[in-house]
Structure 1
């Protein structure tokens, strides 16, 4: 509930098998037979193998999950064979940590080359060509710039998911914001000739700065979809003590706030802090609606609708 500045991405060490290619096979004691004897169906990327006896430590963001690690491992193998490879579209979005639906994670690796170059044609990859290419080194891989990745996603994702992605880009979910909300909106509006432009421009208009998680986005969009007034993101509220708090979503005029209780709220220190702040908010007349992943939408949405109706009557002159 307390507002915080987005912290830099915290890295954690991860032990992964060392990647062996034909050019490095001799120095690691492997023969050409090592590559040719492995069945094609067991090869993720042709020309690269993960050693069964040698490993190396890499630094990855602390928020990664098993799915992310699997995509990262395959991307590392491809980059070992083709160091100039630039990952784009769904692959880059996943590696940036943007909130993609499960069906869009994993799968074939999306690789980008210039419009005048040749598409990457390899097993388990999808080659793209475009001049919207600006490579950034991220986790020792080359990823297309997040602004261009957003354009690449426009024709693949629905509006709701695009709002979640935009919120993540300008928010502090997995690290500092990648850009500002104004710059993001200006960029998607002034770019031309890309699939899904109308949907993305609309999604960018519905995006909000300072959102901390995709679940917060879902709650906000659900409220708007139900025809209720859109809540303010992290409204600043002054307590009787003089301290200020910033709940996830709220209506200061009606004195109603909503808090999405994610897993981090279960930690004892956070739990104790939240209980104290909820009491402080009630002391100054606020209704606190708490939502978890198991709270039925009809339950919390109905409670919010009733609260806005009754408190509107009370606050109107």
Structure 2
């Protein structure tokens, strides 16, 4: 029977430097070429049993193993570590390195050469150096395409990792950095209540078309006078009389015209969700609301028609 490779406790589960492991006497150069280990980057390995090609955190940990001083995981990868996943499948690890650092090219590594201040980098998540939440938002806002940038900053705000005021202060104190003007232009458009990237894109479409800014995540309530007598008694009577019964919370709304705008993702096609949507839609119509529902195809490929639909609805209800 073939011998089972001995796995040193220090090298289990997390990526490590092969040369450091050899120097410490934990492995030999020859053993690193065996089936017990997977090579991730130059001189960076992980236990084969712990390898997961789709685990972005593992790839971030691997990039951190040989991270030079002044470097950090950044951009979309830093956002991921902060709890905001906007990464495409098999995304490379995004890192920011000093201009003097020239790592070997690798398809799972995307390098930006910039200077990071000491205050721009923190160490969380097992010691991985990554850009702070505010620097992460700043870099995404100035480097991504505009709609993607808005979606990224919205998501960081919504997750409560970031506060808008903190990003505004960072912009004020770093006015000389490239791209700061672009971030300033984006700041008035961000929305902490936005719950999905497509919702952010939809809101941006309305803004760019010159339409009024809608209210995000608006609660539509049945007036207390419309409640049944039974609904106005009992434990929830005070709140029901004060606020009315909640009918729905919609993605975007123009309350003054009773227009609700909804983004419909693929999950709305599921049978149970579809049934709930029908009942919800009927209740909103009965309450006098017009509900406009849009899909990804509308937002991404039928933009002009989407804007015409919203503009016509406003005109009819004004």
TM norm structure 1: 0.71
Deviation at 1:46, TM superposition (A): 1.6
Deviation at 1:35, TM superposition (A): 4.7
The corresponding residue for 1:73 is 58
Q: Is the 8 A contact 1:86 1:112 kept in 2?
A: yes
1:174-189 residue pairs with structure 2 within 5 A?
176-189=159-172
The size of the alignment, in residue pairs, is 274
- Is residue 275 from structure 1 mapped to residue 262 from structure 2 by the alignment? no
Deviation at 1:205, TM superposition (A): 1.1
Corresponding residue to 1:301 among 293, 307, 311? 307
CA distance in 2, matches of 1:279, 1:28: 71
The corresponding residue for 1:253 is 256
The corresponding residue for 2:45 is 49
CA distance in 2, matches of 1:298, 1:26: 63
TM norm structure 2: 0.71
After superposition, what is the alpha-carbon deviation per residue over 1:202-241, rounded to whole angstroms, capped at 9, x for unaligned?
1011112210011001111111222222211122221255
The corresponding residue for 2:78 is 92
Corresponding residue to 2:29 among 1, 12, 32? 32
Deviation at 1:267, TM superposition (A): 4.4
CA distance in 2, matches of 1:28, 1:259: 60
The structure with higher relative contact order (CA 8 Å, sep 6+) is 1
CA distance in 1, matches of 2:307, 2:126: 40
- SS state of the match for residue 147, structure 2? helix
Residues 290 and 154 (structure 1), Cα distance of their counterparts in 2 relative to 1, 3 Å cut:
closer
The corresponding residue for 2:137 is 150
More moved, 223-232 vs 150-159: 150-159
- SS state of the match for residue 250, structure 1? strand
More moved, 250-259 vs 28-37: 28-37
Deviation at 1:272, TM superposition (A): 3.3
After superposition, what is the alpha-carbon deviation per residue over 1:116-154, rounded to whole angstroms, capped at 9, x for unaligned?
xx8544224635432142314137633211101223334
- SS state of the match for residue 233, structure 1? strand
After superposition, what is the alpha-carbon deviation per residue over 1:40-65, rounded to whole angstroms, capped at 9, x for unaligned?
xx95422112333x3279xxxxxxx9
Which protein is richer in helix relative to its size?
A: 2
Q: Is the 8 A contact 1:259 1:289 kept in 2?
A: yes
Provide structure 2 residue ranges, at least 5 long, that are not aligned to the other structure. 1-11, 228-243
CA distance in 1, matches of 2:288, 2:266: 27
1:140-289 residue pairs with structure 2 within 5 A?
141-171=128-158, 176-239=159-222, 240-241=226-227, 242-244=244-246, 245-289=248-292
RMSD: 3.6
Residues 181 and 143 (structure 1), Cα distance of their counterparts in 2 relative to 1, 3 Å cut:
same
Q: Is the 8 A contact 2:78 2:130 kept in 1?
A: yes
Residues 81 and 298 (structure 1), Cα distance of their counterparts in 2 relative to 1, 3 Å cut:
closer
Q: Is the 8 A contact 1:231 1:249 kept in 2?
A: yes
Deviation at 1:182, TM superposition (A): 3.5
The corresponding residue for 2:15 is 19
Corresponding residue to 1:110 among 88, 95, 118? 95
CA distance in 2, matches of 1:90, 1:280: 40
